[in-house]
């Protein structure tokens, strides 16, 4: 998996604890080692994780290592960004985007500061 400092990594075994049971909303990047746009998105997610840590968690999930979860949530492309709140997916975005645009798209699901 593309390792991104400061971001948690979920697996089939840890997905429930890392994502579904989290107190904050969780932005999951469904990623893969071979995904070029995923590598471009990594620094954006790292910055968001650091700057918005009190409002959202950012977690990576490798679709090749956790195919069951990718299938369960209908992930057909990488990167797919899915926000979970209270254990349920509330929004899904496909493709890399700049930080500013991503924050605008996430504004409705972020917890107030």
- CA dist 107 and 95 (Å) reads 18
Annotation says 67 is catalytic: no
Give every strand in the sheet of 26-31, ordered side by side. 8-10, 57-62, 26-31, 80-85, 88-94
Annotation says 85 is catalytic: no
Do the Cβ atoms of 52 and 19 come closer than 8 Å? no
Of 19, 26, 28, 38, which residue is the catalytic one? 38
β-strands 80-85, 57-62: how paired? unpaired
Of 19, 27, 28, 35, which residue is the catalytic one? 35
Annotated active-site positions, please?
35, 38
């Amino acid at each position: 998996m593309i390792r991104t400092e400061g971001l948690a990594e979920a697996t089939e075994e840890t997905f429930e604890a890392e994502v579904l049971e989290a107190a904050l909303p969780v932005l999951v990047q469904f990623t893969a080692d071979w995904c070029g746009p995923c590598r471009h998105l990594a620094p954006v997610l790292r910055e968001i994780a650091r700057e918005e840590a009190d409002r959202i968690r950012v977690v990576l999930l490798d679709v090749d290592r956790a195919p069951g979860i990718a299938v369960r949530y209908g992930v057909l492309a990488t990167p797919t960004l899915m926000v979970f709140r209270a254990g349920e997916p509330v929004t899904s975005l496909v493709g890399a985007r700049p930080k500013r645009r991503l924050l605008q798209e996430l504004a409705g699901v972020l917890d107030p500061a």
